[in-house]
Amino acid sequence: MTMKCLLKALLSMPSHYRCLCISHLIGWTAFLSNMLFFTDFMGQIVYHGNPYAPHNSTAYLTYERGVEIGCWGMCINAISSSLYSYLQKALLPYIGLKGLYFIGYLLFGIGTGFIGLFPKVYSTLALCSLFGVMSSTLYTVPFNLIAEYHREEESQKEQNGGEAEAIGRGKGIDCAALTCMVQLAQIIVGVGLGFLVSAAGSVIVVVICASAVALTGCCFVAFFVRYVD
Read off the CATH number of the domain in which 41 is found: 1.20.1250.20
Closest CA to 208 of 138, 76, 119: 119
Q: What confidence tens digit (pLDDT) does each residue in 137-182 have?
A: 999 999 999 989 888 878 777 777 655 444 456 777 788 888 888 9
Judge whether 8 lies within some domain. Answer: no
Please indicate whether residue 98 or residue 171 has the higher confidence score (pLDDT).
98
Judge whether 9 lies within some domain. Answer: no
Tell me how far the alpha carbon of residue 99 is from its chain's centroid. Answer: 16
- pLDDT for 169: 62
What is residue 85's DSSP assignment?
Answer: H
Calpha distance 28→116 (Å, rounded): 19
Judge whether 3 lies within some domain. Answer: no
Range of the domain at 105: 15-160+167-223
Report yes or no: 225 and 96 within 8 Å, Cβ to Cβ: no
Tell me how many domains the chain contains: 1
Cα angle, residue 13 at apex, residues 151 and 214 outer, rounded to 5°: 85
Q: What confidence tens digit (pLDDT) does each residue in 173-217 have?
A: 788 888 888 988 999 998 888 888 888 888 889 999 999 999 999
Judge whether 80 lies within some domain. Answer: yes
Q: What confidence tens digit (pLDDT) does each residue in 25-54 have?
A: 999 999 999 998 899 999 999 999 998 898
Q: How confident is the model at residue 10 (pLDDT cuts 50, 70, 90)?
A: low
- pLDDT for 13: 80
Calpha distance 15→176 (Å, rounded): 16
Q: What is the pTM of this model?
A: 0.89
